[in-house]
Structure 1
Amino acid sequence: MQGRNSTVAQSHLRSYSRPPVRSDIPLDAEPPDKDTLHKLPLTGMPLVTTGLRKARLIKNSRFEGVIELFSDEKSGSGQISPDRLNEVFHFDGRNKTDLDLIKHLSQLNSYDVYTVRVAMRRLGIEVEDVETLQLSPELRNRLVPHMRSFTRPLLHAVYGAAQKEPEDLKDLIGLFIAPDMDVARENLARLSHRMRIDVTAIPKFIEDYGDVYLSLAYYQYCLDQNKPQIHSFLAAMEEMQQTASLKQAANLMATCKMLETKITGVVHDIANVLEMFRIRTIDMWEKMSEETFRRMEAMIIGYQTSIGAALCIITVKMNAWNQQFPQKESGGPWSRADFLMTNMRPGLELVQDISYEDPQ
């Protein structure tokens, strides 16, 4: 990202416009762990050790993967490194695989459900409860506005442009399981012919289609949720760079520039990749087949890990900064500078460029 024109990246922040939020869905102050990028509940993981199943993996402010054994307002957060788990739990031939799995998962750069799915597939491990690695129904419904640019071409192909778009994915799938118009049934038959799959296989295709594009909607949602915090953080760094007492600290000034480049670069990269997938999806429907969809599906899945990682580290860092300095006036210049160097900088070397490469 070095040398990138930060003005272009900043434009993604300036043009930020929060998408409409479903008014019938309550906005919880604390989302379920499985809806986040930086927390992984271990309840549904294939673990033998009972105590571990009650814990969760989290990314701390230094972007280290640690086990959080407990967390409450009175006792705080009880965290331990995966390398020290044998100080708390006994591992033998019966549950040694638990330790191996925890260490592997702790090294992931994001704990979002899509990244964890990829990791579990690579390990050849199945999760018994499929809901464990799915977003909550509440969040899935909240993502519908982000999904519409991907589901609209599919809906129009069967029902035409006049069809009202469903409020959630379940209703969308229902339209294809039991189409209520003769024209829709004819179009559905044509779609199955184009896809070269049986009409009875269409619902499964719709589920796959919905899930793969739900991941993009989720990442867009996470990016949008972070943008106001990113604005505030970049403004704070700009103020630090203009503070006379800090200007002589060359290492601090270099860190400020690095952070600005990294963060604006991540926003630029993710926004561009998501936009390119929108464009490619429209193109895909011009010559739709199961092969073209499966190729697109594989490409999107291939990007999930890198997009999730970049968003996770940004989320962790923005949360850490806002927790330490909740108000614009919080903390003095040197307090902010110290936190910047000790907590905001570590882990950012893991952020890599995310460039869209069209295989066609």
Structure 2
Amino acid sequence: MNGDASQADAHAQTEASSSAEETKRRSLDEEARDSLHILPLSSIPLETPGLQHARLIKNVRLQTVVEMFHGTQTGSGQVVPRHVPAYFESYKEEVERDLVKIEKIATASSFDVYSSRIELRRLKIDVNNVECLTLSDRKKKELTSYMRVFTRPLMEYVYGQEDMQVADVSDIIRLFATPNKDEALRNLRMMADRLDIELTEIPHFLEEYGDIFLSLAYFRKCLDEIVPEVQRFVTWMADIRTSAEVKRDPRQMKMLDDIARDLTDISTSITGRFESFDNRSKDFWSDINADTFRTIRELIASHHVTIGGVLCGLAVKMNLWKSRFQRGGGGPNRRMEFVKSEILPGLSHIKALETSARIGHS
């Protein structure tokens, strides 16, 4: 009897352990999908067994490394892409072919799902049904309040009211598939005419509308989380100036000034870009037609790569700062060393990305 009980306990423990592992794996998968700096290699068709479990990540210097393993106990095992073949000596030919793809994708400035789709399409890789290249359901729920900015004018246009119970664009598509008011049906027909599409194509238009503005909502939430951290960091960095040693060194004072100015300029500029998108989306609803929608869709999509790159760079640096200085402390010398070794490298890349976006779309 005791043997049976022991076996049952062991079986229950194995199942519990397996369930915990599955939950952890799912959580890591969701983290990667919703992240700016992680790309699971399972999203790319690779030949080398084992590589599918690795991830591309951006380190604090904004270099792309292959993370071979990741765990609370084990830490993060990172190698630069060109050193990957040493880990798969039995698959020399396969890993060399895979490395061609990996090194091309590694040049991307961000690994958010929107930038990754663009980069993978450039490599002629089909991204349409790759689950890890879509935001997780959890993230989409988080973005509901951000999406209301874009769903409200749609509801007003078709139903004449904005307070209908709509969580996300999929709810709107269901609602519009069977409109429950004659006036709504008339408005949908008018919208179809203005967009130069058939009434039956409205759900497809809504999906496209939803996806383009979901991307904007995603980046906007990232921005709203990162900018206050950047402002806190600039204040924290300013305290280094009180050090007598730093005061005596004009080069160090100038470096602190330059970093503070660059971070402030980047934050201000990218925030201004989002305000411009908001204004353009309002313009669309005041004059609905195929050209205005195509223009706003192309405008937002053309900014994905630079927005992703700027936010990714800032996020990686601010996350490391928060983990190293959890209570915001640290003496002047320790702070200065962190700024020089972790914040300064790669900052010029973030600044150049934001400047290129400003010039390219001014």
Bin of the TM-score, shorter chain as denominator length: 0.7 to 0.9
- Aligned mates of 2:313, 2:67 — CA distance in 1: 18
Tell me how far 1:181 sits from its aligned partner. 1.6
Match of 1:235 in 2: 235
The answer as to whether partners of 1:44 and 1:129 remain within 8 angstroms in 2 is no
Partner of 2:88: 89
| Partners of 2:41 and 2:218 in 1: CA distance | 21
TM-superposed deviation, 1:163:
4.6
Aligned counterparts, 1:57-68, within 5 A:
57-68=56-67
Partner of 2:35: 36
Task: Identify unmatched segments of 5+ residues in structure 2.
Answer: 1-26
The residue type paired with residue 355 of structure 1 is: R
> 1:72-83 counterparts in 2 under 5 A?
72-83=71-82
Does residue 157 of structure 2 align to residue 154 of structure 1? Answer: no
Structure 1 residue 115, shift from structure 2 partner: 0.6
1:40-74 CA distances to partner (integer Å, 9 max, x unpaired)? 11222211212111011111122111011111122
Correspondence for 2:52: 53
Letter in 2 for 1:50: P
Give the SS at the match of 2:245.
Answer: coil
Q: What is the alpha-carbon distance in structure 2 between the residues aligned to residue 49 and residue 175 of structure 1?
A: 45
The CA RMSD measured in Å over matched residues stands at 2.1
Instruction: Name the CA shift for 1:129/1:52 in 2 (closer, same or farther; >3 Å).
Output: farther
Q: Deviations over 1:218-260 (max 9, x none)?
A: 1110011113322321111110123222222333322212221
User: Residues 165 and 291 of structure 1: is their aligned pair in 2 closer, same or farther, counting only changes over 3 Å?
Assistant: farther
**Counterpart residue number, 1:127:** 127
Q: Tell me which residue corresponds to 1:355.
A: 358
Counterpart mapping for 1:1-360 below 5 A: 32-90=31-89, 91-127=91-127, 129-329=129-329, 331-351=330-350, 352=352, 353=355, 354-355=357-358
SS at match of 1:58: strand
Report the CA distance shift for 1:128/1:217 in structure 2 as closer, same or farther (over 3 A).
closer
Query: What one-letter code is carried by the residue in structure 2 that aligns with 1:83?
Result: R
Q: Aligned partner of 1:79: which letter?
A: Q
Residue number in structure 1 paired with 2:5:
none
What TM-score results when the alignment is normalised by the length of structure 2? 0.86
Q: How far apart are residue 171 of structure 1 and its match?
A: 0.8
Q: Which shifted more, 120-129 or 191-200?
A: 120-129
Instruction: Summarize the Cα distance change of 1:357–1:287 in structure 2 as closer, same or farther, 3 Å threshold.
Output: farther
For residue 70 of structure 1, give the secondary structure of its aligned residue in structure 2: strand
Cα distance change on mapping 1:82 and 1:231 into 2, 3 Å: same
Aligned mates of 2:322, 2:78 — CA distance in 1:
21
Identity of aligned pairs, percent? Answer: 36
Does the CA-based 8 Å contact 2:56-2:64 persist in structure 1? yes
Q: Aligned AA for 1:32?
A: E
Determine helix, strand or coil for the equivalent of 1:317: helix
User: Are the aligned partners of 2:153 and 2:162 in contact in 1 as well (CA < 8 Å)?
Assistant: no
Question: SS at the partner of 2:69?
Answer: strand
After superposition, the Cα gap between the structure-2 partners of 1:105 and 1:260, relative to the gap in structure 1 and judged at 3 Å, is same
Return the offset for 1:192.
Answer: 0.7
Is contact 1:194-1:288 (8 Å) kept? yes
2:10 maps to what in 1? Answer: none
Contact 1:276-1:356 at 8 Å conserved across structures: no
Amino acid at match of 1:185: L
Deviation at 1:332, TM superposition (A): 2.0
Change in CA separation of 1:321 and 1:163 when aligned onto 2, cut-off 3 Å: closer
The change in CA–CA distance for 1:355 and 1:165 in structure 2 (over 3 A counts) is: farther
In structure 2, C-alpha distance between the alignment counterparts of 1:322 and 1:88, rounded to whole Å: 33
SS in 2 for 1:47: coil
* Number of the residue aligned with 1:23: none
- Structure with bigger helix share is 2
Does 1 or 2 have the higher relative contact order (CA < 8 Å, sep 6+)? 1
What is the match of residue 23 of structure 2?
Answer: none
CA gap of 1:265–1:154, structure 2 versus 1, over 3 A, is: same
Of stretches 190-199 and 258-267 in structure 1, the one that deviates more from structure 2 is 258-267
1:134-162 deviation digits (Å, cap 9, x = unpaired): 11111112112112222222221111125
Aligned partners of 1:230, 1:208: CA distance in 2, in Å? 33
Change (3 A) 1:97 1:298: farther
Name the SS for the 2:39 alignment partner.
strand
Q: Secondary structure at the match of 2:358?
A: coil
For residues 245-285 of structure 1, the C-alpha deviation after alignment (integer angstroms, 9 at most, x for no partner) is 22223333222122212211121111111111111111122
8 Å contact 2:47–2:98 — kept in the other structure?
yes
Structure 1 range deviating more: 161-170 or 89-98: 89-98
